[in-house]
Amino acid sequence: MDGWVTMKPLKVLQLLPALDSGGVERGTLEIARALVATGHESVVLSKGGRLVEALQREGSRHITLELGRKSPLTFLHARRLRRLFEAERFDIVHARSRMPAWVAWLAWRGMPLATRPRFVTTVHGMHSVSRYSAIMCAGERVIAVSDTVRDHIRSHYPTTRWPHLADDRITVIPRGIDPAEFPHDYPASTEWLARFHAEFPQLGQRKVLTLPGRLTRLKGHHDFITLVGKLVAEGLDVVGLIVGGEDPKRPGYAREIRARVLAAGLTERIVFTGHRSDMREIYAISDCVLSLSSTPESFGRTVLEPLAMGRPVVGYAHGGVAEILAELFPHGAVAKGDIGAATLRAEAVLKGKTPAVLPNTRFLLERMQRSTLSLYEALAT
């Protein structure tokens, strides 16, 4: 991290259930990478997973211990964890998930004040409100990944009942992306375009609307089908891409939305791509990206990524999505569930009747890394 000024080297432990995939895992690796790059010692504890190799290759150490299983037996690891804290003498222990946070807190609170590490938690999502979830607010510093998450904490864990949760303990550190990974005005290569059009010939020369997200009921696929159908009925030459894998636990939903497309006569206008690892290229060919989730998201990475590339997004303005749209493309924000307004905004985008997307200066990976490490350093002094 060029130009970073750091204090004495810190030894930081991050805890999470596993290192397979997902936003929590991504954030863990991003902070681990920043710690190593700035001369700190980075350690991650989880049950393991496919990302362990990358973590270690980038200079962090991994400790294998399963703390994510929701069972009373998991609490038995608290004594083992306390011994680990005592032996390793971590400066910071950072818990990113509820069950590991409980075990870490039990281990931590029994240590002498003079020798125990500082305890940090990150609230990555709007968990169900319960005593079990409240552990994520037990950190000496609590990181919220968005204003939405901070407001959720304040609403459901008021200081009248949780006096330790004064505002000075909650820090909003938004997630961020690397502009090099999603560059502005990125052009898909000729070779990629040829392969993609061969795989999905329905695209032709049509305007492309994209709905990214796994095939789960919360992501708004039915609203997307309605929206595409309305635009086609108005004579617009469009194709809709539904980009995301099926949920193996709910195969019936995937069949349901495919049947809806068939019944609406939109099989040539709506394409199911399945899971893709080339989202940057798909965003690059999208004329408009949609975000139609029925429940508020804690952040909204699939909104930020295309916006960072200069691609307009029309979305239901709630949760973290509302924050990102307000910052980068206010014209794309519509009320939750208002399909009519979303259709009109998407049509305006396709016809070039909207302002340009604003530059992303807030939701940056390096800014998130700097803010997190600054919090560690301030807490450890």
pLDDT tens column, 55-84: 999 999 999 999 999 898 998 999 999 999
pLDDT at 3: 53
Residue 297's nearest CA partner among 182, 214, 356, 375 is 214
Which of residues 55 and 162 earns the better pLDDT score? 55
**Domain shared by 239 and 166, yes or no:** no
Is 114 a member of any domain? yes
- The predicted pLDDT at position 7 comes to 67
Q: Is the dihedral of CA 25, 31, 36, 41 positive or negative?
A: negative
Q: What is the CATH number of the domain that holds 255?
A: 3.40.50.2000
pLDDT surpassing 80 at residue 112: yes
In a domain? residue 2: no
Q: Which of 257-261, 294-298, 302-306 has the lowest mean pLDDT?
A: 294-298
- What mean pLDDT comes out for the span 1-14? 76
Instruction: Say whether both 206 and 319 belong to one domain.
Output: yes
153 with 237, same domain: the answer is: no
Q: Of 368, 374, 356, whose CA–CA distance to 185 is shortest? A: 356
Are 18 and 47 contacting, i.e. CB atoms less than 8 angstroms apart?
Answer: yes
Same domain, residue pair 23 and 147: yes
So what's the pLDDT on residue 43?
A: 98
Is residue 112 in some structural domain? yes
The answer as to whether 183 is a domain residue is no
Identify the pLDDT of residue 159: 65
Q: Is the pLDDT of residue 367 over 80?
A: yes
Q: Are 247 and 158 in contact (CB under 8 A)?
A: no
Q: Are residues 205 and 172 in the same domain?
A: no
| 111 belongs to a structural domain | yes
23 located within any domain? yes
Same domain, 274 and 369: no
Both 211 and 160 in one domain: the answer is no
> Whose CA is closest to 233, among 269, 279, 287?
269
Whether residue 51 is found in the same domain as residue 148 = yes
Three-class secondary structure of residue 65 per DSSP: coil
More confident residue, 24 or 2: 24
Is residue 4 predicted with pLDDT exceeding 60?
no
- As a whole number of angstroms, the distance between CA 362 and CA 370 comes to 12
**Pick the residue with more confidence: 364 or 299?**
364
Strand, helix or coil at 14?
Answer: strand
- What's the pLDDT tens digit per position in 247-280? 887 889 999 999 999 999 999 999 999 999 999 9
172/247 same-domain check = no
User: In the predicted model, is pLDDT for residue 42 greater than 60?
Assistant: yes
Question: What is the count of structural domains for the chain?
Answer: 2
Q: What is the pLDDT of residue 163?
A: 59
Whether residues 258 and 316 share a domain: the answer is yes
Helix (H, G, I), strand (E, B) or coil at 274: strand
Do 46 and 165 belong together in one domain?
yes
Name residue 17's amino acid: P
14-28: average pLDDT: 92
| pLDDT band of 8, cuts 50, 70, 90 | confident
pLDDT tens sequence across 194-246: 999 999 999 999 999 999 998 999 999 999 999 999 999 999 999 999 999 98
Secondary structure of residue 283 in the 3-state scheme: helix
224 within domain boundaries: yes
- Whether residues 218 and 273 share a domain: the answer is yes
Residue 4 lies in a domain: no
Domain extent at residue 25: 11-176+364-380
Query: How far apart are alpha carbons 55 and 157 in whole angstroms?
Result: 34
